[in-house]
Chains A and B, each alone.
Chain A
């Protein structure tokens, strides 16, 4: 028989406000096995933990039940407390009477009743708990960073700085991400390329960093400290180690009509191309969708002009398998499609553009060499209308846009408006906004400058319709402060499109078993206290894959993610989770049901000799679990038809005892 102590937490008024904690402690006193029951204001505080430790010693407790918040919050805390008092940490059970009880109930009577039931269930389980000892697993001292934008670059540099090898996997032919496409950066207006490209060069030159460009992660197995990752290196038909990046092939290629994605389709590139002059790695890539040689076998111009002999039309996709101790997700964002926003005539007029396209139009390396010219006729626009929140804060039409604020648009629109007025003072600039949101160091001052010094017309209200008429764009909008309708004949309309996570994020989240929110942003382990860790151990988050962010925030988060990775890779051994599945070989019938449902590949089958009751020997096929790989999800225990599979710490009889305790009420 166990000797159980029950500790009921008030959590200030969080629990005590809706649950009569004294009555709970009193009611649980007489449960089987309980020898001590107490309540305290903050059980997780030092004083509360001391109270538990003292009780363990005084009453010689063999197990404890803490009625408090969710085990996600403080299970680890109370396990440590128990261990400090000499009790096996797995003899601790948490009855969640906060998130699953006090916070969702309004009246004291029903809240108290439920808290007692939850407490009884936990007690019933502890009665069947057995001490568990965690195993250890080694740590592969190499990190994987998925995504080579500014987030991935900063994380990789910081990890490499600490002396650990890092691999960056980037789907594009070059690292650099969205930041490489930007012109100036707010609020200091330094040129994006001037601050980004030196970092890209640092990455290229760092001996600890390998770049897998034009590649993607296709499979992830294993667990924290021991990830087995398969990377697909897509065929670029150019030998990376031989290509010198001279660019001759990109000038001679006869296929000139390929939309240039780096300039968002506003000009063309060749079928063999280097995305931009400062690309890293600076090697050419053949776009197989457009290359005449690859499609018809008739061309070969690039191979003829390449003095290095780097062209290889026979190249195939390669698959690389590598082990990593930690994975950092830095998959970034994209502006949403404007297809569903036809009121702004994006698909009807070339002169309605997105802000990222505007960014390319003002970039010296862009399609107009930095001159702000209308895409339709190459004329200088004299009236420009910026529309903010296109698809952001779009609660009423969630199927069109996003409910959230994209966060960066207010600032980059202020930047665009200010720079336009600075370079072309003869231009009238209007900005339509719902709210101007500029919380950030030197952000509001920046926006005020746009309004006060540069005379940008900020108008509170939204644009209802943009109609192309002749070579003008008729903009119909409301001015909410003046309370009237406005009609503006604009030459250029710029839409601040909402941003969304990159499409690759969802598939990646499945591979990593990392959770996402409803908008496909990766979820952090705790929104305030663990913002750069995914709830999945060993998976870390960097940059906009976790939520909209500007560059300063992205770089801070990238550094934070790196420090978490370094903390992990510094360890030689990781303590495992002893709550893993175990197969009773005598009951196992070798059906493979468990193997099929195991998401971690932790179960294998082997033929074993068994001594039968009649003293004969029989060879039977039975399951065995690799405890280092098993994550304790319990899927196999449910799938097993003969009841041979059981999960330590959550054994079938323990779960049934909990259910019984609840049903007895």
Chain B
């Protein structure tokens, strides 16, 4: 299976592991992640200002690239996924926005055909659950994570706004827990798993971010977890920066480990 892949800028700087293991794991699962020739930063935060267009164009260009290849657009970073999926949703539901956005694109060199939200946006977790199938992943597991108690940390961007994201129940999600089970590990259900880590508030009010992040890692630890996994670079940054007692790793790393392709890639 070939899919269009939007890595996002953090995956080339702070979150290289998220990207590297996504590639390794997908190779093992028979999925080729193909980046568009040019892609730009998604902007990091989806703007709710109705007249904000320019910051959403990078997302649209990636969506168009996938549309022209007739492939789904796959993301792994929670923030990129959130921005691109919300942008796609806005194009589908807000005709005025779509019209003006297409007017912008029409002025570009080699202008693409107007875009109306045709591309399917999938997070790698969704690709695994809905397209590849958990059963297929289970068949490919080489080194099951037996005995590992793993706390899935969703954060806020992956699931919300739930009507748009449509990934899982925002209050009681299970997609990462299901994956952990498939990989042979034992998921730890703890109440703070869908709470916000504080996000960008870390920049101006470090104390608040610390409080939020600690409540999450403490809750996971109190429920007996050995480690926390996440899909979001900012969540991981906040948790580690604020002194999480548990190791925090990306879900792709665990996936690669279980599929037996982790070591081969560690040196890169």
- Name the B residues within 8 Å of A399 (CB-CB): 163
Contact of B114 with A by CB under 8 A? no
Contacts of B189 in A (CB 8 A): 348
* Chain B residues with CB below 8 A from A347, complex form: 172
For A507-551 the 0/1 string (1 means CB < 8 A from B) is 000000000000000000000000000000000000000000000
- Answer yes or no: B18 CB below 8 A from chain A CBs: no
Chain B residues contacting A202 (CB-CB under 8 Å) are none
Q: Can you name the residue of chain A whose Cβ is closest to the Cβ of B169?
A: A342
Interface string of A456-498 (1 = CB under 8 A from B): 0000000001011100001000000000000000000000000
**Quick one: CB contact mask for A331-354 with B, threshold 8 Å, 1 for yes?**
000000000111101011000000
A467 touches B192 (CB 8 A): yes
Query: Is B171 close to A, CB under 8 A?
Result: yes
Number of residues of chain B lying within 8 A (CB) of chain A: 9
Secondary structure of the B side of the interface? helix
CB distance A467 to B172 under 8 Å?
A: no
Q: How far is the CB of A400 from chain B (nearest CB, A)?
A: 9
Assess whether A342 is in contact with B172, with CB atoms less than 8 Å apart: yes
Does A474 contact B172, Cβ atoms closer than 8 Å?
A: no
Instruction: Tell me if B222 counts as interface (CB < 8 A to partner A).
Output: yes
Number of A-B contacts (CB under 8 A): 20
With a cutoff of 8 Å between Cβ atoms, the chain B residues found around residue A468 in the complex are: 191
Chain B nearest CB, measured from A429 CB (Å): 23
* B163 CB contacts on chain A under 8 angstroms: 399
Q: In the complex the two chains form, is B171's CB within 8 Å of A343's CB?
A: yes
Tell me, in angstroms, the Cα distance from A105 to B189 when the chains sit together: 58
Q: What residue in chain A is nearest B189 (Cβ atoms)?
A: A348
**8 Å CB contact of B191 from A340, A341, A465:** A465
One of A342, A469, A474 near B171 (C-beta < 8 A): A342
Task: Kindly list chain A residues whose C-beta atoms are within 8 Å of the C-beta of B192.
Answer: 467
A391 to B: closest C-beta gap in Å: 13
Give the contacts of B154-208 with A (CB-CB under 8 A). Answer: 163, 169, 171-172, 189, 191-192
Closest CB of chain B to A439's CB: distance in Å?
Answer: 33
Q: B191 contacts which chain A residues (CB < 8 A)? A: 345, 465, 467-469, 474
**Chain A residues, CB < 8 A from B169:** 340, 342
CB contacts (< 8 Å) of A345 on chain B: these are 191
Bound form: Cα–Cα A465–B191 in Å? 9
Whole-angstrom CA separation of A20 from B100 in the bound complex: 43
Most chain A CB within a 10 A radius of its CB, from B163, B189, B191, B192? B191
* Chain B residues, Cβ within 8 Å of A341: 171
Are A348 and B222 within 8 A (Cβ)? Answer: no
- What is the 8 Å Cβ interface bit string for chain B, positions 138-164, against chain A (1 contact, 0 not)? 000000000000000000000000010
CB distance from A86 to the nearest CB of B (A): 59
From B169, B171, B189, B219, residue with most partner A Cβ within 10 Å: B171
Q: Which B residues are CB-close (under 8 A) to A342?
A: 169, 171-172
Cα–Cα distance between A341 and B163 once the two chains are bound (Å): 15
**Distance in Å from the Cβ of A73 to the closest Cβ of chain B?**
38
Could you say which residues of chain B place their CB within 8 Å of the CB of A465?
A: 191
Q: How far is the CA of A474 from the CA of B163 in the complex (A)?
A: 27
How far apart sit A138 and B67, CA to CA, in the bound complex (Å)?
A: 68
Give bound CA distance, A467 to B222, whole Å: 13
Query: How far does the Cβ of B150 sit from chain A's closest Cβ, in whole Å?
Result: 19
**Could you say which of B169, B172, B189, B219 has the most chain A C-beta atoms within 10 Å of its C-beta?**
B172
- A399–B166 Cα gap in the complex (Å)? 13
Q: Using Cβ atoms and an 8 Å threshold, which residues of chain B touch A474?
A: 191
* A340, B169: Cα distance in complex, Å: 8
Shortest CB-to-CB span from A565 to chain B, Å, is: 45
- Closest Cβ of chain A: how far from B219's Cβ, in Å? 8
Bound Cα distance A56, B192 (Å): 79
B171 CB contacts on chain A under 8 angstroms = 341-343
User: Which A residue's beta carbon lies closest to that of B190?
Assistant: A467
Task: Compute how far the CA of A469 lies from the CA of B223 in the bound complex, rounded to whole angstroms.
Answer: 9
User: Contact flags (1/0) for A300-312 with B, using CB distance below 8 Å?
Assistant: 0000000000000
Complex Cα distance A310/B192, Å? Answer: 56
Query: Which partner residue on chain B sits nearest A399 by CB separation?
Result: B163
Which B residue sits closest to A343, measured CB to CB?
B171
Shortest A486–chain B CB gap in Å is 16
In the assembled complex, the Cα of A469 lies from the Cα of B222 at a distance in Å of 9
Return B98 CB to nearest CB of chain A, in Å: 24
- Tell me, rounded to whole Å, the shortest Cβ–Cβ distance linking B189 to chain A: 8
When C-beta atoms are compared, the residue in chain A nearest to B171 turns out to be A342
What residues of A have a CB within 8 angstroms of the CB of B172 in the complex?
342, 347-348
- Which B residue sits closest to A344, measured CB to CB? B171
A439-468 vs B, CB cutoff 8 Å, 1 = contact: the mask equals 000000000000000000000000001011
CA of A467 to CA of B223 in the docked complex: distance in angstroms?
12
Which residues on the B side are within 8 Å of A469 (C-beta)? 191, 219, 222
Q: A340 CA to B189 CA in the complex, in Å?
A: 18
Q: How far is the CA of A469 from the CA of B221 in the complex (A)?
A: 12
CA distance in complex: A342, B171 (Å): 5
Question: Residue of A at shortest CB range from B162?
Answer: A397
In the complex, what distance in Å separates the CA atom of A468 from the CA atom of B191?
7
B176 to chain A, nearest CB (A): 15
Determine the distance from Cα of A345 to Cα of B172 in the docked complex, in whole angstroms.
Answer: 8
Closest residue of chain A to B191, judged by CB?
Answer: A467
In the complex the two chains form, what is the Cα distance from A340 to B163 in whole Å? 13
Closest residue of B by beta carbon distance from A341: B171
- Bound-state CA distance A175–B169 (Å) is 38
The 9 closest A-B pairs by CB, nearest first: A467-B191, A342-B172, A342-B171, A343-B171, A342-B169, A469-B191, A468-B191, A474-B191, A347-B172
Given contacts A467-B219, A474-B191, 12 further A-B contacts (CB under 8 A): A340-B169, A342-B169, A342-B172, A345-B191, A347-B172, A399-B163, A465-B191, A467-B191, A467-B192, A469-B191, A469-B219, A469-B222
Sampled A-B contacts (20; CB under 8 Å): A340-B169, A341-B171, A342-B169, A342-B171, A342-B172, A343-B171, A345-B191, A347-B172, A348-B172, A348-B189, A399-B163, A465-B191, A467-B191, A467-B192, A467-B219, A468-B191, A469-B191, A469-B219, A469-B222, A474-B191
